[in-house]
Amino acid sequence: MSRVYLEQRDANHVPPPQTAAEVSAAVEAAAEAVANCDVLIFTAGAGMGVDCGLPDFRGSSGLFKDREVAMTYEEMSDDKWFAEDPLFAWGINYTQLSMYRHTQPHEGYAVLLRWATTLGKPYYVWTSNIDGMFEKVGFSPEKVVTCHGDLHHLQCTKDRRKCRGSREDRSDEVWPAAVIPDGLDAEIDPGGLRFRDAAHLERDCFKCPRCGSLARPNVWFCHDKNYNASADALVRGDAYNQWLWKLHEDEAAIVVVECGGGLAIPSVRVQGEDAVDGGGKGSRLIRINPVHCKVPPTNGIGIPMGSMQRLKLLDAALMKPKGKVKCKKDVKAAARKPSPGPRKAVK
């Protein structure tokens, strides 16, 4: 757990609703906030993928539970293994890559995509997940900020200053992991999570096309000295930051729908809390989490339970007949009341 987050933020948060009636009221309040906001930000941590059947890596359903490896996830998530034990490093990462390739997004992702495409509100996705589920369900990659990279792209294990390529703009520093074939799972020892034969890593698909060194996933590991954020990821991240700063300047009503943001590395939780804190009237953080569901007292709505079930309930509440005229502008128009003045344009 992040001690700084627990002491400086979580300690000041309030518990989520407890009774069925309170939870129902929270769902209705969240649906109203989504309907009335100016913009939407969807944030997601590892808990978002659990309903797909993916492991959470640290909990009871973690990938490394019941394996023959006496390490924590944090100890395994270290780029040093590509130098010290590449068969182990790639055994872990290929196992995850194969899992992500063959897992389909759950219905909650489809709910968020429907909101993004039908509500007519500007939006972004901001996620610490490396599984690529948002893109797989249909979100445009340009709208998905992946703060930790993703397992579907590769980079060189060498320091970027020592890996030389032919392109001056270095646009070939990161490339798609599609070059690595399916079907290698049988070559990995399931207990020790290691490739049995070093010959597999001698194949071109595991090599950097720039210098011939061993490739690795373009992912920020828990302990990482060589993560190389792609040029595309940097552009997307900068575009998101510029967009968010403008929203804060315009005092836009920002609603963040946070799914499965954990406490161990609270990047997702902090991102959502800060985005809402800088927003205008009507900004809300909707935190969906079965366990860690405390929220800031003034602008948070905590909804306990997993992402898939709660997003479906939220969607049902949002799509009720009365929701068709929930938006502030629509209500005012229907009542034929004069507008108090336009809010600054939100782009």
Predicted confidence (pLDDT) per residue in 281-290, tens digit? 999 999 999 8
Residue 163 has pLDDT above 90, yes or no: no
DSSP string, 235-268: HHHHHHHHHHHHHHHTT--EEEEEES--SSSTHH
Residue 134 has pLDDT above 90, yes or no: yes
Is residue 273 assigned to a domain?
A: yes
Residue 66 has pLDDT above 60, yes or no: no
Is residue 343 assigned to a domain?
A: no
Residue 232 has pLDDT above 60, yes or no: yes
Confidence of residue 60 (pLDDT cuts 50, 70, 90): very low
pTM: 0.88
Mean pLDDT of 254-272: 94
Residue 212 has pLDDT above 90, yes or no: yes
pLDDT of residue 171: 74
pLDDT of residue 75: 85
pLDDT of residue 52: 87
Among the listed residues 176, 110, 177, the one whose alpha carbon sits nearest the alpha carbon of residue 138? 110
Residue 67 has pLDDT above 60, yes or no: yes
The domain of 141 spans: 3-335
Residue 170 has pLDDT above 60, yes or no: yes
> Which secondary-structure segment (H or E) carries 145?
strand 144-146
Residue 333 has pLDDT above 60, yes or no: no
Is residue 200 assigned to a domain?
A: yes
Query: How many domains does one find in the chain?
Result: 1
Tokens 């906030």 -> residue: 33
pLDDT of residue 324: 44
Is residue 54 assigned to a domain?
A: yes
Mean pLDDT of 131-155: 96
Residue 47 has pLDDT above 60, yes or no: yes
CATH of the domain at 33: 3.40.50.1220
Among the listed residues 52, 48, 74, the one whose alpha carbon sits nearest the alpha carbon of residue 268? 48
Cα 42 to chain center, whole Å?
Answer: 8
Length of the chain: 347
Is residue 340 assigned to a domain?
A: no
Is residue 341 assigned to a domain?
A: no
Is residue 346 assigned to a domain?
A: no
Among the listed residues 106, 86, 343, the one whose alpha carbon sits nearest the alpha carbon of residue 215? 86
